């Protein structure tokens, strides 16, 4: 019988064939801890009686949510994290170099076929390069730090096939939002999403990252793309035979298959305050807005900033609208600066911040108040995420968001001149 991608990755890790529902113990290739969770991980690690890390070189600590500190307790997380890293010989520590999920692939920590866990639900992002990656809590993380292993239940797989060429004003954010709307917020709970088709093959790694990042919004355990030449170039490797084999077999068993024509996709939004409340942008046109946020581990990459700049070139952000742009990493910030993208954004009136999570998690400036509306490119629009519970958050692509910033209201995305 054939295998799905997740079944191949787990079989390679544990040394035997697996099927959905099997409980297995995997050997972990890499873990990521971010600044919010490090105090709790350190406390549990000590409570469990561990005295050393299973492999300090496989542990990555990233300060991204709380930088720069915006609340009094934030600095405690930095001190605890630094002390933990020093005590246990951790060298892979990033202090405000960017968002954890961007850095894990960008800095080369994750490779195709790896098994990776992180203390953040959007750890599913690394499936963009064909890795099994998933978010866990601080107790599970403490256990991995001491043992190097983790138990999992092999998930069923939902296959998603997309063929054709996307319309010019449609980005991968529109694609994954539409899929989440179809699946619903709980429709892929503890399942693997496996993306394939000609549209997917033509996507950049950055676009795939957007989709694997948001898979958790449908409850997915992981979201996987088959590694290809783009993956190899991005990861700076040559794919081995196992990595090349990470495609679903024709006779693999899938829970279900969703099939889409790329030409049928249109710009969409997730409307307040549910990620699966998806509406075409044209249905929301004319809704006045107060702020636009372009950034996050979902859409803070170079192609996202470039798409926004194409819309904003030679234009100005509407009066009384605030546009906040946050690159996903220092590398992306520098690239955008070198290419003149940041100049275009600044001239249009954007406020450009240091790389990090920023407004996505309601930190580091830009929070809103009762009755205000924001169009944002991040992954969640839950009540209270960007200010008070009466803030209305609309999730959209960078192209849509930039178009709204110019218009001062929700409008269909325009193409650059």
Q: Token pair of 195, please?
A: 């993306």
- The model's pLDDT over 8-40, given as tens digits with 9 standing for 90+, comes to 999 999 999 999 999 999 999 999 999 999 999
Residue with tokens 């046109």: 285
What confidence score (pLDDT) does residue 381 get? 96
Instruction: Report d(CA 354, CA 325) in Å as an integer.
Output: 9
Phi-psi region of 405 (alpha: psi -120 to 50; beta: other; left: phi over 0): alpha
Residues 34 and 175 in one domain: yes
Q: Going by C-beta distance under 8 Å and a sequence separation of 6 or more, which residues neighbour residue 178?
A: 260, 265, 268, 278
Q: In the chain, what are the helix, strand and coil shares in percent, each to the nearest 5?
A: 40, 20, 40
What confidence score (pLDDT) does residue 230 get? 98
Instruction: Give the residue from 262, 297, 321 where a domain finishes.
Output: 262
Instruction: Give the residue from 214, 240, 262 where a domain finishes.
Output: 262
Instruction: Report d(CA 29, CA 115) in Å as an integer.
Output: 5
Residues 109 and 214 in one domain: yes
Residues 205 and 310 in one domain: no
Q: Token pair of 127, please?
A: 């499936």
CA proximity to 375, closest of 357, 355, 361, 396: 396
What confidence score (pLDDT) does residue 365 get? 82
Asked if 124 and 222 count as a contact pair (C-beta separation under 8 A), the reply is yes
The pTM for the full model equals 0.97
Q: What is the mean pLDDT of residues 326-339?
A: 98
Instruction: Report d(CA 55, CA 3) in Å as an integer.
Output: 31
- Give me the count of residues in the chain: 417
pLDDT band with cut points at 50, 70 and 90 for residue 415: confident
Residues 112 and 145 in one domain: yes
- The model's pLDDT over 256-305, given as tens digits with 9 standing for 90+, comes to 999 999 999 999 999 999 999 999 999 999 999 999 999 999 999 999 99
DSSP secondary structure letters along 342-395: HHHHHHHT-EE--SSSGGGGT-SS--B-TT-EEEE-SS---TTTTBSTT-EEEE
| 415 domain residue, yes or no | no
The mean-pLDDT minimum among 161-165, 354-358, 392-396 falls in: 354-358
Residues 224 and 306 in one domain: no
What is the number of domains present in the chain? 2
CB count within 10 Å of CB 237 equals 15
What confidence score (pLDDT) does residue 181 get? 98
Flag whether pLDDT at 337 surpasses 70. yes
Residues 116 and 221 in one domain: yes
| 124 domain residue, yes or no | yes
Residues 69 and 216 in one domain: yes
| 140 domain residue, yes or no | yes
- The model's pLDDT over 122-144, given as tens digits with 9 standing for 90+, comes to 999 999 999 999 999 999 999 99
| 171 domain residue, yes or no | yes
Flag whether pLDDT at 416 surpasses 90. no
Q: Going by C-beta distance under 8 Å and a sequence separation of 6 or more, which residues neighbour residue 66?
A: 35, 36, 74, 77, 78, 363
Residues 349 and 391 in one domain: yes
CA proximity to 393, closest of 300, 272, 276, 293: 272
Residues 390 and 244 in one domain: no
Residues 56-93: b if buried by 16+ CB within 10 A, e if exposed: eebbbbbbbbbbebeeeebeebbebbbebbeebebebb
Q: Going by C-beta distance under 8 Å and a sequence separation of 6 or more, which residues neighbour residue 347?
A: none
Q: Token pair of 129, please?
A: 């390069």
Helices (H), ranges, 198-353: 198-202, 205-214, 229-235, 241-244, 281-284, 296-299, 302-312, 330-338, 341-348
| 416 domain residue, yes or no | no
CB count within 10 Å of CB 240 equals 12
Residues 86 and 188 in one domain: yes
Q: What is the mean pLDDT of residues 348-360?
A: 95
What confidence score (pLDDT) does residue 372 get? 98
- The model's pLDDT over 217-239, given as tens digits with 9 standing for 90+, comes to 999 999 999 999 999 999 999 99
What confidence score (pLDDT) does residue 417 get? 56
- The model's pLDDT over 66-108, given as tens digits with 9 standing for 90+, comes to 999 888 899 999 999 999 999 999 999 999 999 999 999 999 9
| 398 domain residue, yes or no | yes
Residues 251 and 300 in one domain: no
Q: What is the mean pLDDT of the chain?
A: 97
Instruction: Give the residue from 246, 262, 278 where a domain finishes.
Output: 262
| 388 domain residue, yes or no | yes
Residues 230 and 287 in one domain: no
| CATH of residue 305 | 3.30.499.10
CA proximity to 159, closest of 195, 197, 185, 208: 195
Residue with tokens 């801890």: 33
| 24 domain residue, yes or no | yes
| Residue span of the structural domain in which 114 resides | 5-262
Q: Token pair of 88, please?
A: 């246990």
Helices (H), ranges, 188-300: 198-202, 205-214, 229-235, 241-244, 281-284, 296-299
Flag whether pLDDT at 364 surpasses 80. no
- The model's pLDDT over 302-325, given as tens digits with 9 standing for 90+, comes to 999 999 999 999 999 999 999 999
């Amino acid at each position: 019988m054939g295998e799905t991608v997740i079944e191949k990755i787990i079989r390679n890790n544990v040394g035997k064939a697996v099927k959905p529902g099997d409980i297995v113990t995997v050997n972990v290739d890499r873990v990521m801890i971010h600044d919010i969770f490090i105090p709790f991980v350190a406390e549990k690690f000590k409570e469990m009686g561990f005295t050393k890390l299973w492999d300090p070189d496989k542990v990555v600590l990233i300060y991204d949510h709380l930088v720069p500190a915006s609340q009094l307790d934030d600095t405690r997380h930095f001190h605890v994290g630094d002390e933990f890293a020093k005590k246990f010989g951790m060298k892979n520590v990033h202090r405000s170099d960017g968002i954890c999920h961007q850095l894990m692939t960008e800095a080369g920590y994750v490779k195709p076929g790896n098994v990776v866990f992180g203390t953040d639900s959007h750890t599913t992002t690394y499936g963009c390069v064909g890795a099994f990656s998933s978010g866990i809590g601080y107790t599970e993380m403490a256990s991995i730090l001491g043992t190097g292993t983790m138990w999992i239940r092999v998930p069923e797989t939902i296959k998603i096939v997309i063929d054709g060429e996307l319309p010019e004003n449609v980005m991968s954010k529109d694609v994954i939002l539409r899929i989440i709307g179809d699946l619903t917020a709980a429709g892929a709970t503890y399942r693997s999403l496996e993306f394939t088709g000609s549209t997917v093959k033509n996507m950049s790694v950055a676009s795939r990252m957007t989709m694997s990042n948001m898979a958790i919004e449908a409850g997915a355990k992981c979201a996987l793309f088959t590694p290809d030449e783009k993956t190899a170039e991005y990861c700076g490797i040559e794919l081995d035979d196992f990595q090349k084999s990470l495609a679903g077999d024709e006779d693999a068993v899938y829970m279900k298959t969703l099939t889409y024509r790329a030409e049928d996709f249109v710009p969409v939004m997730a409307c307040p305050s549910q990620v699966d409340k998806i509406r075409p942008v044209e249905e929301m046109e004319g809704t006045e807005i107060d702020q636009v946020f372009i950034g996050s581990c979902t859409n803070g990459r170079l192609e996202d900033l470039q798409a926004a700049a194409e819309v904003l070139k030679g234009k100005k952000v509407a009066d009384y609208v605030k546009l906040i742009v946050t690159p996903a990493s220092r590398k992306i910030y520098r690239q955008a600066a070198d290419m003149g993208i940041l100049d275009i954004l600044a001239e249009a009136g954007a406020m450009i911040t240091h790389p990090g999570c920023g407004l996505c998690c309601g930190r580091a400036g830009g929070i809103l108040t009762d009755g205000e509306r924001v169009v944002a490119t991040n992954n969640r629009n839950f009540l209270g995420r960007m200010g008070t519970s009466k803030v209305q958050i609309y999730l959209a692509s960078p192209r849509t968001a930039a178009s709204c910033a110019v218009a001062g209201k929700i409008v269909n995305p325009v193409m650059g001149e």
